Amino acid sequence: MLKEYDSVVIGGGISGLTSALLLAQRGKKTAILEAGATISPIMNGFSRKGVHFETGFHYASSLGEGDFGHYIFNKLGLDLEPFPLLQDGYDEIHILPTGRVFKMAYGKQNLANNLHEAFPEEKKAITAYLDRVENTLSKSFFLNMHKKQDSLYSAAIDSPPSLQEVLDEYFKSPELKAILSVSAFLHGTPPSKISFGQHCRISGSLYKSAWGIKGGGLAINKAYKNSLERNGADIFVNAKAVKIEYKDGKKHIFTDKGGLFVCNTCISTVHPKIFLNIAPKNVYREGYKARINELEETPGFFTLYAILKDGKYFKKSNMFVVSDTNINGIFSPDMKTRSYYINFSNSKPQALSIISLVPPSEQMWDKKAPEYNIKKEKYAEILKKDIASLFPEIADSIEEYLEVSTPATTRRFAGYYSGYGLMHDVNKTKILPITKIPGLYISGRSIIAPGLLGAIITALLVDKIISKST
């Protein structure tokens, strides 16, 4: 089965779907190859006993009118309804060693007031830090590309300082530093490794506003599917790309089911280490390949899902529970500290997800390994006990614990164990979207940034490079 297209996008996650939409909107005959059974399986969530559980989307910044997300949803023809989260406490941060509970507020003055009240001795530094976040964000192309036309790579190039360096420069309180870096859960890179610029773009943008999307991940997938169909793109699910060859100026993409797709432009949005396995051998220099293979992964996720008793408990805030005031410590590979994110859905009855970070060790989370189920049960018991002792009001509201997912589950749905792909380490090799093969590009969450908006922005940048070169 040979099919010819102008463009083929490998991987039907948000990055791939956005790339395909942009190409199709420019009139290119475009196909998407997705290994999973649906587009963006990570966003799809799942249902048990009539309750829907979110997996790859809970909240985002910049979705208000006039914001980047609002603009881009319109440009992509995505029919989505964002709704604002609780302004005075969209995130509730529990610092276990000190017992402090801090409510993150959005709106710069609101947040400043809350922080000043909690840390009066650091008032001047808090004001200066928030000014610096605002200034960095306003200069960044990342969330302003609908307003400014700066250098193409300004969003991609991360430069020092790291978030940790900035926090150490401004603040004394370890608790305050922990509060301001707990959003590392949202991108999977510790404060000592994430650049301050990336922190501002991904987490600092939440200081302006925080949003959910009506219908969550399922609604996002549906909106993409509808717009792709309207724009004439072809979606192939259960189509895993296993090899890319470069012949006579064309890219030949072979799938596991014997399919062959031939195109001029090919964008791979799969994990860069998977890409190296399927790409033509001369895609990069050997030294560069070795450096990509050495790049560190973000942690994986272990998630415990439960149904809450109807009408008993509805919390509008996300909860972050950290067991070390040094947030770098919660990323340690030995898993000595337990830290997690708790999300309450908007549905009725409510779904509860307790998402804990774990290092993506392939051995430990190999579904076929004999210790897999034992490890999974043990981990679930630890989390259940934690919830019972730390948050008895939540424990009392649980109707039943249902499912457990591990990094092996993420692997099944996204092809790789790590929750957010490669770490965006300010001091490590950057993967640029172009390759040595003309018309073969690499995109996705590991290239510029993870998250719904990070993936969309990555696709937009790659699209700008492609449209300039064709």
Ligand X SMILES: Cc1cc2nc3c(=O)[nH]c(=O)nc-3n(C[C@H](O)[C@H](O)[C@H](O)COP(=O)(O)OP(=O)(O)OC[C@H]3O[C@@H](n4cnc5c(N)ncnc54)[C@H](O)[C@@H]3O)c2cc1C
- Residues lying near ligand X in the complex (CB under 6 A): 10-16, 33-36, 40-43, 55-60, 240-241, 269-270, 274, 301, 355, 410, 414-415, 419-420, 444-445, 450-452, 455
Q: Which of residues 439 and 451 has its CB atom nearest to ligand X in the complex?
A: 451
Q: Which of residues 179 and 358 has its CB atom nearest to ligand X in the complex?
A: 358
Q: How far is the CB of 324 from ligand X (least distance, A)?
A: 21
The beta-carbon contacts of 315-318 under 8 Å, at least 24 apart in sequence, are 315/92, 315/344, 316/85, 316/86, 316/89, 316/90, 316/344, 317/85, 317/86, 317/89, 317/90, 317/91, 317/92, 317/103, 318/58, 318/59, 318/85, 318/90, 318/91, 318/92, 318/342, 318/343, 318/344
Q: How far is the CB of 239 from ligand X (least distance, A)?
A: 6
Q: Which of residues 25 and 268 has its CB atom nearest to ligand X in the complex?
A: 268
Q: How far is the CB of 185 from ligand X (least distance, A)?
A: 9
Q: 75 is written with which tokens?
A: 């440009």
Question: From CA 358, how far away is CA 339, in angstroms rounded?
Answer: 9
Question: From CA 228, how far away is CA 220, in angstroms rounded?
Answer: 12
Q: Which of residues 91 and 122 has its CB atom nearest to ligand X in the complex?
A: 91
Q: Which of residues 145 and 167 has its CB atom nearest to ligand X in the complex?
A: 145
Beta pairing class for 234-236 and 30-33: parallel
Count Cβ atoms within 10 A of the Cβ of residue 173 and give its class: 0-12 exposed, 13-18 middle, 19 or more buried: middle
Q: How far is the CB of 445 from ligand X (least distance, A)?
A: 3
Q: Which of residues 133 and 459 has its CB atom nearest to ligand X in the complex?
A: 459
- Alpha helices by DSSP H, 140-215: 163-170, 174-181, 196-202
- Alpha helices by DSSP H, 26-122: 41-44, 68-75, 108-118
Buried b (16+ CB within 10 A) or exposed e, 368-386: eeeebeebbeebbeebbeb
Q: Which of residues 270 and 408 has its CB atom nearest to ligand X in the complex?
A: 270
Q: Which of residues 35 and 78 has its CB atom nearest to ligand X in the complex?
A: 35
Q: How far is the CB of 206 from ligand X (least distance, A)?
A: 10
Residue of this chain nearest to ligand X (CB atom): 13
116 and 126 Cβ atoms separated by less than 8 Å = yes
Q: How far is the CB of 82 from ligand X (least distance, A)?
A: 12
Q: How far is the CB of 36 from ligand X (least distance, A)?
A: 4
Phi/psi zone of residue 294: left (φ > 0), alpha (ψ -120 to 50 degrees), beta? alpha
Q: Which of residues 13 and 197 has its CB atom nearest to ligand X in the complex?
A: 13
Q: Which of residues 36 and 176 has its CB atom nearest to ligand X in the complex?
A: 36
Question: From CA 401, how far away is CA 210, in angstroms rounded?
Answer: 28
355 and 409 Cβ atoms separated by less than 8 Å = no
CA angle 27, 57, 87 (to 5 degrees): 115
Q: Which of residues 40 and 326 has its CB atom nearest to ligand X in the complex?
A: 40
Question: From CA 352, how far away is CA 148, in angstroms rounded?
Answer: 40
Q: How far is the CB of 302 from ligand X (least distance, A)?
A: 10
Q: How far is the CB of 290 from ligand X (least distance, A)?
A: 21
Q: How far is the CB of 88 from ligand X (least distance, A)?
A: 20
466 and 19 Cβ atoms separated by less than 8 Å = no
Residue 253, C-beta contacts closer than 8 angstroms, at least 6 positions apart: 8, 10, 33, 241, 243, 244, 260, 261, 262, 263, 266
81 and 213 Cβ atoms separated by less than 8 Å = yes
Q: How far is the CB of 182 from ligand X (least distance, A)?
A: 14
The greatest distance separating any two alpha carbons of the chain, rounded to the nearest whole angstrom, comes to: 69
Q: How far is the CB of 456 from ligand X (least distance, A)?
A: 9
Sign of CA dihedral 6, 9, 15, 21: positive
Q: Which of residues 317 and 325 has its CB atom nearest to ligand X in the complex?
A: 317
- Among 409, 415, 469, smallest CA distance to 446 is for 415
